[in-house]
Amino acid sequence: DAGVIQSPRHEVTEMGQEVTLRCKPISGHDYLFWYRQTMMRGLELLIYFNNNVPIDDSGMPEDRFSAKMPNASFSTLKIQPSEPRDSAVYFCASSTEGTGELFFGEGSRLTVL
């Protein structure tokens, strides 16, 4: 049974470049969450979707960040243009309303030079 799948696992890019992170939630899960983890700030919720609709994006740090969920099995988090302070591990997680149990992917480690 596949869990939450994220790609790429590692991304190194230069300041100003566009970065796209991808997520496939667990089949049947109707909630999808994007988190960012840094040593300084811990785990921060960026945005979450319910049934492919963005519900709360109050955690998105700036307009440089955008997220989409075109269908129930795919979501993207895009940073354009990227900056060194965006360097972090970005996690995708999914859950169902039934139990509310949250399941995480392995994360995408982003380094912006």
Partner 1 sequence: KQEVTQIPAALSVPEGENLVLNCSFTDSAIYNLQWFRQDPGKGLTSLLLIQSSQREQTSGRLNASLDKSSGRSTLYIAASQPGDSATYLCAAYTSGTYKYIFGTGTRLKVLA
Instruction: Based on the shown chain and the rule CB under 8 A, indicate whether residue 17 belongs to the binding site for partner 1.
Output: no
**Contacting partner 1 (CB under 8 A), which of 34, 91, 110, 112?**
91
Closest contact distance (angstroms) between CB of 93 and partner 1 is 8
In the set 86, 105, 110, 112, which binds partner 1 (CB under 8 A)? 105
- The verdict on 71 binding partner 1 (CB under 8 A) reads no
List C-alpha distances in Å: 39 to 9, 36, 62, 67: 18, 10, 20, 23
- Measured CA to CA in angstroms, residue 53 lies from 47, 48, 49, 50, 109 at distances of 11, 8, 5, 5, 26
Backbone φ and ψ of 103, nearest 5°: -120, 135
Site size toward partner 1, by CB under 8 A: 22
Q: Is 51 in the site for partner 1 (CB under 8 A)?
A: no
- Asked if residue 74 binds partner 1 (CB under 8 A), the reply is no
